[in-house]
């Protein structure tokens, strides 16, 4: 376990070299990991565990689209694909990977199978942190652990297949067996994490909800729409506005940031771009800082989770969601994006 110093702060980080897959397999020897939920994270984590030689089973409703997806992914009914109840009974580590609303709804059934010594595994701190809303309160004689990959399930799988892994946070909420820490680290390595950094359930969900609503998705989409619409109103063509707003960012600049950081990207752009970006960066920060403060407070107070749970509980949620996504898809910026992407060399060859 490494200690990384940032100023006066020390962070705990576990790497593959310090906790190799061989050790993870030894820790998980004799365990049965039951994946409950085969939606976003479930398939990737389940297949990575399987490929790494861990005994893993799937618990899923039949019939359902997710059951069909599991079958396509190679899971066999009666061998490693079971009803949710059978998987819960057989599992010693219950990987609770349903949606946050789904976890709340299924919890009364799940709790019955959490017998002494088992581990309840999450990839999000939502259910535990907002227990007043979700009513998810684990028995005191089980381990409660978390590994949260910093990416969608698709990235967890693709990064695993290319050997790079994906960064994940880990946390122990409850250690009833004395083995919770080694169990969570073993799970983190076995699902393909590149390295693991320590957190707690509350910090994980606060940062995650803020990030999704902020830079990662909400703020990014909003800023892109604002710049695109400004350029269009000033007479720029759709392709020009899209290229200067999205294409250059996603196909060039963000890759440079990922490689060596924002300062390195600035250093490798034109002097005109450098000066302008440095002069305007502070103005954008000043403009959005109040929004982020308001957002974080809303997350901390549980207002965001209450909104999510209420929305997901309505019978027509999917219908409303699809309508919202269709409206986004039909915005000119994303219609222009489809046109620009079709002109990429790799797509012209198809």
Neighbours of 21 (CB within 10 A): 15
Evaluate whether 210 touches 299 at the Cβ level (below 8 Å).
Answer: yes
**Sheet architecture: strand order including 56-59:** 2-6, 9-15, 193-198, 166-174, 143-149, 119-122, 93-96, 33-36, 56-59, 81-82
Q: Is residue 26 annotated as involved in ligand binding?
A: no
Quote the CA–CA distance of 99 and 97 in Å, as a whole number: 7
Q: Is residue 240 annotated as involved in ligand binding?
A: no
Q: Which H or E run includes 346?
A: helix 345-348
Residue 110: alpha-carbon gap to chain centroid: 23
DSSP class per residue in 166-191: EEEEEEEEE-SSS-HHHHHHHHHHHT
Q: Is residue 225 annotated as involved in ligand binding?
A: no
Neighbours of 112 (CB within 10 A): 11
Q: Is residue 244 annotated as involved in ligand binding?
A: yes
CA dihedral 62, 146, 216, 271 (to 10 degrees): -140
Closest CA to 175 of 131, 144, 206, 213: 144
Residues with active-site annotation: 124
Q: Is residue 169 annotated as involved in ligand binding?
A: no
Binding residues for Mg(2+): 208, 212, 244, 248
**Residue stretches of the annotated binding site for substrate:** 270
């Amino acid at each position: 376990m490494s200690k990384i110093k940032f100023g006066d702060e020390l962070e705990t980080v576990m790497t593959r070299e310090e906790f190799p897959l061989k050790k993870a397999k030894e820790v998980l020897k004799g365990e049965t990991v039951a994946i409950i939920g085969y939606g976003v994270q479930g398939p990737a984590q389940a297949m990575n565990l399987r490929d790494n030689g861990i005994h893993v089973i799937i618990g899923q409703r039949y019939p359902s689209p997710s059951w069909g997806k599991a079958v396509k992914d190679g899971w066999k009914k009666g061998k490693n694909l079971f009803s949710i109840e059978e998987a819960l009974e057989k599992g010693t580590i219950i990987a609770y990977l349903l949606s946050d609303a789904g976890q709340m709804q299924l919890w009364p059934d799940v709790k019955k199978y959490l017998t002494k010594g088992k581990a309840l595994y999450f990839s999000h701190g939502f259910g535990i942190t907002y227990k007043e809303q979700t009513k998810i309160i684990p028995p005191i004689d089980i381990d409660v652990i978390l590994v949260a990959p910093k990416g969608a399930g698709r990235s967890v799988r693709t990064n695993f297949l290319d050997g790079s892994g994906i960064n994940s946070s880990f946390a122990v909420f409850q250690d009833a067996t004395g083995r919770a820490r080694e169990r969570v680290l073993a799970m983190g390595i076995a699902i393909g994490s590149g390295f693991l950094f320590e957190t707690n359930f509350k910090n994980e969900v606060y940062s995650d909800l803020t990030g999704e609503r902020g830079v990662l998705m909400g703020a990014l989409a909003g800023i892109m729409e604002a710049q695109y619409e400004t350029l269009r109103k000033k007479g720029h063509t759709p392709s020009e506005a899209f290229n200067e707003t999205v294409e250059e960012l996603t196909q060039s600049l963000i890759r440079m940031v990922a490689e060596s950081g924002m300062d390195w990207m600035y250093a490798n752009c034109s002097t005109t771009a450098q000066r302008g970006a440095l002069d305007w960066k502070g103005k954008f920060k000043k403009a959005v800082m109040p929004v982020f403060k308001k957002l974080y407070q809303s997350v901390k107070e549980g207002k965001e989770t209450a909104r999510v749970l209420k929305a997901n509980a309505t019978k027509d949620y999917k219908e409303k969601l699809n309508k919202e996504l269709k409206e986004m898809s039909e915005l000119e910026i994303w219609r222009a994006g489809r046109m620009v992407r079709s002109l990429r060399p790799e797509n012209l060859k198809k």
